[in-house]
Amino acid sequence: MYLLQHFFILATDGATEGITNLYNLLAGLITVVGAIVVLYGIVQVGMSISSQDHTQRTNGLFFLAGGLLIAFAPAILKIIGVTI
C-alpha cells in the first residue's frame, strides 16, 4: 500500500511539472505576440505622424496600448495572484 501511495505522489509531481512547462511556453509565446503588436503600433504611429492621419494615429496608439497589455499579461497575472 505504501508503494502505491508513493507512486501516485510521483505521478502527480510529473503532471504538475508538465503543466508548468506548458504554461511557461504559452506565457513566452503570448509575450512575443504582444511585442510584435507593440512594434506594429509604433510603426502605425510613425506613419500617421508623417501623413497627418489622425485615424491611423488613434489606431496605432490602440495597438501600442493593447500590445503592452498582451506582452505583460503573464506578469500581470502573477501580480494579481493567478497561478496554475
Identity at 11, one-letter amino acid code: A
Q: Mean pLDDT throughout 75-82?
A: 90
- Residue 10 pLDDT exceeds 80: no
Query: Taking Cα atoms as reference points, which of 32, 54, 59, 30 lies closest to residue 43?
Result: 59
For residue 43, the model assigns a pLDDT of 95
Percent of the chain with pLDDT strictly greater than 70: 82
pLDDT at 45: 93
Residue 16 to residue 29: CA distance in whole angstroms: 20
Q: What pLDDT does residue 19 have?
A: 86
Report how far residue 11's alpha carbon sits from residue 47's, in angstroms, rounded to the nearest whole number: 54
> What pLDDT band is residue 68 in, cutting at 50, 70 and 90?
very high
Tell me the pLDDT of the chain averaged across its residues. Answer: 85
